[in-house]
């Protein structure tokens, strides 16, 4: 097409394909695909955020003011699916696409065409999922956990949602294969495994988790599908099946899934904190081993989501002990971040602020997680707002905050432009204030006895719910502020230097800003001083 003619000019020193289709639709370039993923994730965060706005609007006061309970249930279900599979996961994949090749000195991902396909499946998957909102019976309304028999009561939306989940699964698995192949095969000479940046390490481990559990989810939802439409009874007690078996299978996927959403965050924070502390990461190897042991443990704790299904005593005890054990490697990570800051020479640019908030607020989410592990207390906490508070602390102030930190951190490398520190910090303080107003009171609501997934409540719960909703509306402005800051930077930002941050080390900071369309077409010669973690000998 016309674009090929344009290509022939070679007037762009980057050799970027010209024209929208060649540049974005047929792209095999890891940077452009990374950008696509990040833009997609941003749109999904906005859609999922709008749905949480509906939920919090309804919950602002007792009584039903805006939506029918059934629609409310659709909102919670789709909000979660969109945030998890459309927001957090693609955002991390986008960051991996952009940064992994740059961090290990590779020219691109190992499987660039598959990379293109992994991305372009996603918009279709989410179009299918979101269109179920307009079906006669509405979208899935049985919660993102899709527990049967309830999830099978919906109309045809079940089939569409399952199809969408299959597509997302295929995309994730291909993305994971690509990341593993890239990391294991494409490292520049001298980039030994134990010299890789932690972001690369955490993604390597995450990719293995993805390959291990996405097929399990696919199996679980396929059984739902055949139960609903083809007369099987895997989960139908009347036909000899077992509804609890679904929960076991789902959480065998689901618990590793929550680590899929947090391990890359650990990696990001482990890059940012040393940079702005101007000091090497404390306990690099311990961080790697802690990540690996968290990943291993994540496979043997699934039933802590099911303490109330009536497991035998031995099962409850096993899953309680195993879950408590996760606190140890997680603690190691937190202590190592604090030790990295200790005796550093710290500055507090925007990415550092988000990273510090991550450490504090994720730890708070970890504390409530540890409390939830205690079975006698979980008999009270389970399925209340205490759980909602817990997982939003780890997902929003954990995963999402790390993603925002990463965007501010690498933005100058991507675009060659600095953003406004003043407005970046404003964005940070705004979000951190409102996110706590939003989620902290939910602990109180849960402890006072408010169940989750309800559209209306007793008047005693009204006060904290109003506070929480005020926080939510503040938080809804957060993506808008971020968009404005980045837009302004793109248009008017000061040019960024190659190293960008004074304390930055690592290969990604040796290429110009903005990173040219093709980097490391020849493998770089690596000196220990270039690496963030070059020195692991003692």
Residues forming the active site: 79, 108, 144, 171-172, 255, 257, 259, 270, 304-305, 330, 333, 452
Decide which of another protein, ligand HEM, Cu ion, none touches 255; Cβ closer than 5 to 8 Å per partner kind.
Cu ion
Decide which of Cu ion, another protein, ligand HEM, none touches 226; Cβ closer than 5 to 8 Å per partner kind.
none
Cα–Cα dist 16/22, whole Å: 9
C-beta nearest to Cu ion: residue? 255
Nearer to another protein, 335 or 430 (CB): 335
Least distance in angstroms from the C-beta of 316 to another protein? 6
Question: Is residue 452 part of the contact set for ligand HEM (CB under 6 A)?
Answer: yes
Least distance in angstroms from the C-beta of 469 to ligand HEM? 9
Cα–Cα dist 239/94, whole Å: 44
Question: Looking at residue 417, what DSSP letter applies?
Answer: B
Residues 79-138 that bind ligand HEM (CB under 6 A): 79-80, 83-84, 87-88
Q: How far apart are the first and last CA of the chain?
A: 58
Helices 89-104 and 263-277, packing angle to 10 deg: 50
Question: Is residue 49 part of the contact set for ligand HEM (CB under 6 A)?
Answer: yes
Residues 355-394 that bind ligand HEM (CB under 6 A): 388, 391-392
Nearer to ligand HEM, 87 or 148 (CB): 87
If 0-12 CB within 10 Å is exposed, 13-18 middle and 19+ buried, where does residue 199 land? buried
Cα–Cα dist 7/17, whole Å: 6
Least distance in angstroms from the C-beta of 529 to another protein? 12
Over 352-382, what HEC string results? Answer: HHHHHHHHHHHHHHHHHHHHHHCHHHHHHHC
The residues facing 495 across adjacent strands are 417
Query: Which of 27, 29, 76, 291 forms a contact with ligand HEM (CB under 6 A)?
Result: 76
Residues 226-255 that bind Cu ion (CB under 5 A): 255
- Tokens found for residue 265: 């965050």
Alpha-carbon separation of residue 182 from 106, 108, 188, 268, 419 (angstroms): 8, 8, 11, 19, 31
Cα–Cα dist 272/505, whole Å: 10
Least distance in angstroms from the C-beta of 258 to Cu ion? 5
Question: Is residue 55 part of the contact set for ligand HEM (CB under 6 A)?
Answer: yes
Least distance in angstroms from the C-beta of 409 to another protein? 17
Decide which of Cu ion, ligand HEM, another protein, none touches 309; Cβ closer than 5 to 8 Å per partner kind.
another protein
Q: Are 474 and 438 in contact (CB under 8 A)?
A: yes
Decide which of ligand HEM, Cu ion, another protein, none touches 133; Cβ closer than 5 to 8 Å per partner kind.
none
Question: Is residue 438 part of the contact set for ligand HEM (CB under 6 A)?
Answer: yes
Nearer to ligand HEM, 147 or 335 (CB): 147
Least distance in angstroms from the C-beta of 322 to Cu ion? 11
- In 3D space, the residue among 92, 119, 102 whose CA is nearest the CA of residue 27 turns out to be 119
Query: Which of 27, 35, 77, 368 forms a contact with ligand HEM (CB under 6 A)?
Result: 77
Count of other CB atoms within 10 angstroms of residue 501: 20
Three-state DSSP at 109 gives coil
Nearer to another protein, 453 or 517 (CB): 453
- Tokens found for residue 221: 């939802």
Judged by CB under 5 A, the number of residues near Cu ion is: 1
Question: Site residues (CB under 5 A) for Cu ion?
Answer: 255
């Amino acid at each position: 097409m016309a674009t090929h003619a344009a290509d022939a000019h070679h007037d762009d020193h980057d050799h970027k394909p010209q024209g929208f289709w060649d540049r974005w639709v047929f792209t095999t370039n890891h940077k452009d695909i990374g950008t696509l993923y990040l833009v997609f994730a941003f749109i999904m965060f906005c859609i999922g955020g709008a749905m949480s706005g509906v939920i919090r609007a309804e919950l602002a006061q007792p009584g039903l003011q805006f939506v029918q309970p059934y629609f409310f249930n659709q909102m919670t279900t789709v909000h979660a699916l969109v945030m998890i599979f459309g927001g957090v996961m693609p955002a991390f994949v986008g960051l991996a696409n952009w940064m992994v090749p740059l961090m290990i000195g590779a020219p691109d991902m190992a499987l660039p065409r598959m990379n293109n396909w992994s991305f372009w499946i996603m918009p279709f998957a989410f179009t299918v999922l979101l269109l179920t909102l307009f079906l006669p019976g509405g979208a899935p309304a049985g919660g993102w956990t899709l527990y049967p028999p309830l999830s099978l009561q919906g109309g045809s939306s079940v089939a569409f949602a399952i199809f969408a989940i299959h597509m997302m699964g295929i995309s994730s698995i291909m993305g994971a294969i690509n990341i593993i192949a890239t990391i294991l095969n494409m490292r520049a000479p001298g980039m030994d495994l134990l010299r890789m940046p932690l972001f690369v390490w955490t993604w390597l481990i995450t990719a293995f988790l993805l390959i291990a559990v996405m097929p399990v989810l696919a199996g679980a939802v396929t059984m739902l599908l055949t139960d609903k439409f083809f007369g099987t009874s895997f989960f139908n007690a009347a036909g000899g099946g077992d509804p609890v078996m679904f929960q076991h299978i789902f959480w065998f996927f689901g618990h590793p899934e929550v680590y899929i959403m947090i391990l890359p965050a650990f990696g990001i924070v482990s890059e940012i904190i040393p940079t702005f502390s101007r000091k090497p990461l404390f306990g690099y190897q311990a961080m790697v081993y802690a990540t690996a042991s968290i990943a291993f443990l994540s496979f043997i704790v699934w039933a802590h989501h099911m303490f109330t299904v009536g497991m035998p005593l031995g099962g409850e005890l096993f899953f309680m002990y195993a879950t408590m054990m996760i606190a140890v490697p997680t603690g190691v990570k937190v202590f190592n971040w604090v030790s990295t800051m200790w005796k550093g020479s710290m500055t507090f640019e925007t990415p550092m602020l988000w990273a510090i908030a991550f450490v504090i607020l994720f730890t708070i989410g970890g504390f409530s997680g540890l409390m939830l592990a205690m079975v006698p207390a979980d008999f009270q906490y389970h399925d209340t707002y205490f759980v909602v508070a817990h997982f939003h602390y780890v997902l929003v102030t954990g995963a999402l905050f790390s993603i925002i930190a990463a965007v501010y951190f690498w933005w100058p490398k991507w675009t060659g432009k600095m953003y406004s520190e003043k407005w970046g910090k404003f964005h940070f303080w705004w979000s951190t204030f409102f996110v706590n107003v939003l989620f902290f009171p939910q602990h109180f609501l849960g402890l006072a006895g408010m169940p989750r997934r309800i559209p209306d409540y007793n008047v005693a719960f009204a006060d904290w719910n109003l506070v929480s909703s005020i926080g939510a509306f503040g938080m809804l402005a957060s993506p808008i502020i971020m968009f404005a800051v980045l837009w302004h930077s793109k248009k008017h930002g000061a040019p960024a230097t190659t190293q960008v941050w004074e304390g930055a080390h690592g290969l990604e900071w040796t290429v110009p800003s903005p990173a040219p369309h093709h980097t490391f077409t020849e493998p770089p010669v690596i000196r220990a001083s270039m690496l963030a973690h070059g020195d692991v000998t003692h």
